[in-house]
Structure 1
Amino acid sequence: MPNRSGRCLLTVCVTLLLALGLLASPRPLLANEAPLTPVSLQLLWYHQFQYAGYYAAKAQGYFQEAGLDVEIRDGGYHTAGRAADPVREVVTGRADFGVSRSDLLLHRARGEPVMVVANIMQRSPLVFLTLERFGFSRLEEVGDRPISVTLPGVDERISAETLATFLAAGVNLESLNNAAPSWNLQDLYAGRTQLVPAYSTDGLYAVRRHGEVPVIIRPADYGIDFYGDLLFTRQALVEQHPERVAAFRKATIRGWVYAFENLEETVDLILEAYPRRHGDIDRDLLLHEAEQVRELMQPSLIEIGYSNPQRWKSIGDQYLAMGMIDGYELEGFLFQPAPPPLTTLLLTLWRWLLPFMSVVVVAAGLAGYLLFTNRRLKEEIQRRREAEAALQQLADRDGLTGAGNRRLFEQQLQQEFQRSRRSRHALSIILMDVDNFKRINDEYGHLVGDQVLKEIVQVTRSMLRIQDHLARYGGEEFVVVLPETGPEEACLVAKRILEVNRTHPVQTEAGVIRYTLSLGLSELRDSDRDPWQIIQRADASLYEAKHQGRDRLCIDAAPTLP
């Protein structure tokens, strides 16, 4: 049996835990408490699962528990080029919170006082959508075709991701036959436009359900990998009412957790309580969209709402490099909920302690709180490290194949080029293209085509060393960087890649698919001033391999090496 002092200590600990538990537990507002503070949220689009966390937070009373009466407004394109602009609505005070994209840093750099409250989507759903019957799959092939994308001059909203992608593709914006997007797929089906912006979460599904074959062009194919939907507000609201902003953020995150744990209930809520744009937005589409949104948010890997300053710096640096802004500052751009001051915690704790407790109990409570806080801080640091590692993985990898993306490849190429120059080591590059890949998509569908691309990465990686770099260079193009590798050894590696893919059967529901590759090989020369000269020669060699009949390797436009 514990002695008297032991029983007293146990009583104190239990009381403290109960007090802390009561403090941490949310409670509903009572009828005689202060009225709720009205706030408004301006969405970027019509009501869909894309905003499910906000609907769930309102329906489950999370906003009410936070003392907020929230009005949720849609932001659809009721007139072409005249959508509600969340940034304008929030900055002018017509709305308190808004949903936008990585364009927010562009607005901030231009002097508009916007602040990111929470990163909702860790990857952007924006893609460019065309149809297979129009016969092109790259932005470089647009020419004078009629298109409808959000570029400067046709829409009041800024789409930094669209502009950055077209600039990265080297497209002359002034030569485009571009009109304001209506965000109505009927224009695409009718041929009035041949390229439109869409969201990967629902656009492809809608086109396939209509009976057309969609072709998507991803910004990531051009090295553009930005955040998706972001919750934001204006700086003045943060300065005047930081507790209100923090409460809105917390309730929103709780709403998203609930939405993912209760998908069907949340979809039914959207169908019953929120008007959609048209009848095609039905239950099946919303359930499909829900899974796609989950993939973009990665809630099992990354805390909902988490902002990575390093990734924001990468986005800002891309804006700078493309001449979209002259400079930017991240300080004051990312909202950080302030922890309650220690005095507030002590007063709150004291209010819940029994009246007869002595100063010793308070001291014990403070010690326990500090111990608890220290442990939670260590856990938080570890969780953030894991989240940042997961974010880095997302930022560096192609979402479909798992190979490095264009951005990571460019970093690695620059590093290996500089290292080869310093140490006088050899450096070789292999460019690879899937032969007749369009035919595979045409005959078997894009899902089979995606499976082929995934397996190309798997079998090619098995032929490489740990220090070699494999990346997806474009749609069906891949690139391999071979550090400290001369042309003879690189040629052997390329032959192995050629053969292992030539003989690899892809097992699909449509049957066994076989494919071949065309390869171009080049090496670093003393005369090279930058690494892109190596890429240009590899690209010329790849073109020669295609010209000679495909399924072969060419080296710096040299004779074919079968």
Structure 2
Amino acid sequence: MTEPPVKAGNMAVRHCVQCRRVLAPLWLSLLSALSLGAPVANAQAPRDDLEPVSLQLLWYHQFQSAGYYAAQDQGYYRDAGFDVEIRHGGYDNQGRSVDPVEEVIFGRADFGVTRSDILLHHSRGAPVTVIANIMQRSPLTLLTLKRYGFDRLEDIGDRPVSLTLPTNNPDKRISAETVAALRKADVDIRALNNSPPSWDLDDLLSGTTQLTTAYRTDEPYLLRQVGATPVEIDPADYGVDFYGDTLFTHRQLADNEPERVAAFRDASLRGWEYALEHPEAIATLIEREYGTRSERHDREFLLHEAEQLRELMQPQLIEIGYMNPRRWESIAEVYQELGMIQQADIGSLLFTPESNGSPHLGRWLVPVGTVLALVLLAAGYLHVVNRHLTLEIARRRQAENALRVQAEKDGLTGIDNRRLFEAHIQREFQRARRHNLPLSLILFDIDNFKAINDDYGHLVGDRVLKAIPEATAPVLRSSDLFSRYGGEEFVVILPETPLDEACQVAERIRCVNGDHRIDGDVPNDPVTYTLSLGIAELQADDASAEDLVRRADTELYRAKTAGRNRLSSRMTP
């Protein structure tokens, strides 16, 4: 899959916009001199002339829609010439759900917010166009509780569930992600003991349902607030990695008035940038102007949701609103593989204003000589700007690569840091559970490391820490994941490895480090060190990856108390 460009690459787009802004006055001056009398396209309309448009949200008012509230409050929509009505997407007084796609298709709304399911509607002939991807990752998750004793879709059995499925569901809210994940897990949705979701967490707490559709930005937080232990089953673990909320409109509007659609999109994205930079202010705005649907959705909830949305949107790496055609093609491939669609035309799904013909283009045409004069005048400036831009992009890419290394690698040893280990162990835990694979963990540290620092100094202690990867990496397998856990502790994840094989790897680590020699401050007096290692294997009753880590830490303590320079596991006496 083609990765979306990081922000350094998108600087080119912004810089080109700046170029247009610099050249625009020259262009307008030439037109004025020729007495063409064409109106200035970007002139701000008087307030009485604002164009009324409607935006249909996907859910109730909360931080999930913060960018649109910010665009309204900060005047970005007004600056673009719009008077926007923002409608929540919950349930009406009769308990009927609002479907944003239907609202836009039938002309009851100009713009809407929905999920990647819009690809299904488009492939079946619905006249819709995606104009921006707001969330680069989907917030949808399948939620259960630890006390129900399962964390895989394959283990649902006849448990009562409440999922947004097409079977026995009068609600319009049907999640293609949920259907795709269940089919990937070889679960027959027709055989499930399923009831339409009530969206009431009391049903999950009481056992009325033991699995429900949820947003990871919302329900897990609310469950923890009442003392429950939520367990999430992520569709991405089943290869269903979709976009989250997307902004869309009617195909006819995108084709006939691309400038209007682009203006609304740009104002909305400015709103999202503001909302992510000022979460406190937007939380206050939501409470004051829009309100939330219950007391549980309070200010603390809104700020928690803001942090979760930042992770889903990844604004530090990807331009807000960016649409990757290859990613959409991959989503279409999942749907096709599962027989949910026959074919998909991604080119007509995604809004590309530069390829849409403008019905107002004719009034901007000028004599060929004027165009040539403008091009010649701008050529020199653009050459200088392009050279500067190329250097700037290269510098920013280097800076971002350096930031990634800082974020994921340990500064002293150069191996993965604790943060990356946490990501690896969660992923491998889910993979082992999903495919019923063995998984082992080795947690080890340097014996008497404080004495090494005291006797030889901290510089020599740092040399010992740096020597651990030098000695250990050659005896690890390519599939093993090696990280610094913290201080003098290190950890190795061994995917698809049972306990006996993990013990063999641990013994190799112990021996090769025991034979290693570090140059000290005294010539011909090398520093030596030993390791204690704890090994644990994933057990059937492990509720989370933390249980595996905790057991490895217990085994490490056993090795320490037994005399150090040894390994300990449940296999060892």
Query: What is the CA distance between 1:238 and its match in structure 2?
Result: 0.5
Secondary structure in 2 aligned to 1:75?
coil
**Partners of 1:81 and 1:156 within 8 A in 2:** no
Distance 2:111 2:396 in 1: 26
Q: Secondary structure at the match of 2:154?
A: helix
Cα 1:363/1:409, change in 2 over 3 Å: same
Report what 2:411 is aligned to.
none
Aligned equivalents of 2:356 and 2:421: distance in 1?
39
1:91-130 matches, cutoff 5 A: 91-130=105-144
In structure 1, the residue matched to 2:230 is: 214
Residue in 1 that maps onto 2:214:
198
Q: Within 5 Å, give how 1:4-153 maps onto structure 2.
A: 19=25, 29=44, 31=46, 35-78=49-92, 82-153=96-167
Q: What SS does the aligned partner of 1:515 have?
A: helix
**Cα distance in 2, alignment partners of residues 45 and 112 from structure 1:** 21
2:416 maps to: none
Partner in structure 1 of residue 279 of structure 2: 263
1:238 counterpart SS class: helix
1:273 aligns with 2:285: no
CA RMSD of aligned residues (A): 5.0
Aligned to 2:192: 176
Deviation at 1:232, TM superposition (A): 1.0
Give, in whole Å, the separation in 2 of the partners of 1:96 and 1:102: 19
Contact between 2:279 and 2:303, CA under 8 Å: does it hold in 1? yes
2:423 corresponds to: 401
Q: TM-score, normalised by structure 2?
A: 0.64
| Alignment: residue pair count | 437
Provide the rounded CA distance (Å) in 2 between the counterparts of 1:463 and 1:83.
Answer: 59
- Say which SS state the counterpart of residue 551 (structure 2) adopts: coil
Aligned to 2:326: 310
Q: For the residues of structure 2 that align with 1:245 and 1:97, how far apart are their CA atoms?
A: 9
Paired residue secondary structure (1:220): helix
For structure 2, the 5+ residue unaligned runs are 1-18, 30-40, 409-418, 443-468, 483-492, 511-531, 538-545, 554-567
The alignment status of 1:502 with 2:514, answered yes or no, reads: no
* TM-score normalised over the length of structure 1: 0.65
Structure 1 residue identity aligned to 2:128: V
Q: In the alignment, what sits opposite 2:415?
A: none
Shift in alpha-carbon separation, 1:164–1:283, aligned structure 2, 3 A: same
Aligned to 1:319: 335
- In structure 2, do the counterparts of structure 1 residues 512 and 551 end up closer, same or farther at CA, with 3 Å as the change threshold? closer
Which whole-Å CA distance do the structure 1 matches of 2:371 and 2:423 have between them? 62
Q: Greater shift after overlay, 245-254 or 106-115?
A: 106-115
- The Cα shift of 1:373 comes to 6.8
Letter in 2 for 1:502: I
- Cross-structure match for 2:255: 239
Contact 2:45/2:81, CA 8 A, preserved across alignment: no
Q: C-alpha distance in 1, partners of 2:289/2:300?
A: 17
Cα distance in 2 for residues equivalent to 1:256 and 1:298: 12
Q: Which residue of 2 aligns with 1:557?
A: none
User: Judging changes above 3 Å, is the alpha-carbon distance between structure 1 residues 302 and 469 closer, same or farther for their aligned structure 2 residues?
Assistant: farther
Change (3 A) 1:433 1:216: farther
1:377 & 1:335 partners in 2: Cα distance?
26
The residue type equivalent to 1:67 in the other structure is: G
CA distance 1:30–1:103, change in 2 (3 Å): closer
> What's the offset of the Cα at 1:77?
3.4
Q: Which residue matches 1:432? A: 439
- Which stretches in structure 1 are left out of the alignment for 5+ residues? 1-12, 351-357, 414-428, 436-457, 472-477, 483-487, 505-509, 518-549, 553-559
Is the 2:503–2:535 Cα contact (8 Å) retained in structure 1? no
CA distance in 1 between counterparts of 2:548 and 2:157 reads: 37
Match of residue 253 from structure 1: 269
Task: Give the letter aligned to residue 294 of structure 2.
Answer: H
- Higher mean C-alpha deviation, range 134-143 or range 47-56: 134-143
Match of 1:438 in 2: none
Given the superposition, is the C-alpha separation of residues 362 and 295 from structure 1 closer, same or farther in structure 2, using an over 3 Å criterion? same
Q: CA deviation at 1:301?
A: 0.5
Distance 1:68 1:142, change over 3 A: same
> Is residue 158–residue 192 contact of structure 2 (8 Å, CA) maintained in 1?
yes
| Structure 1 residues 467-482: aligned runs within 5 Å | 467-468=478-479, 480=495
In 1, Cα distance between equivalents of 2:158 and 2:547: 39
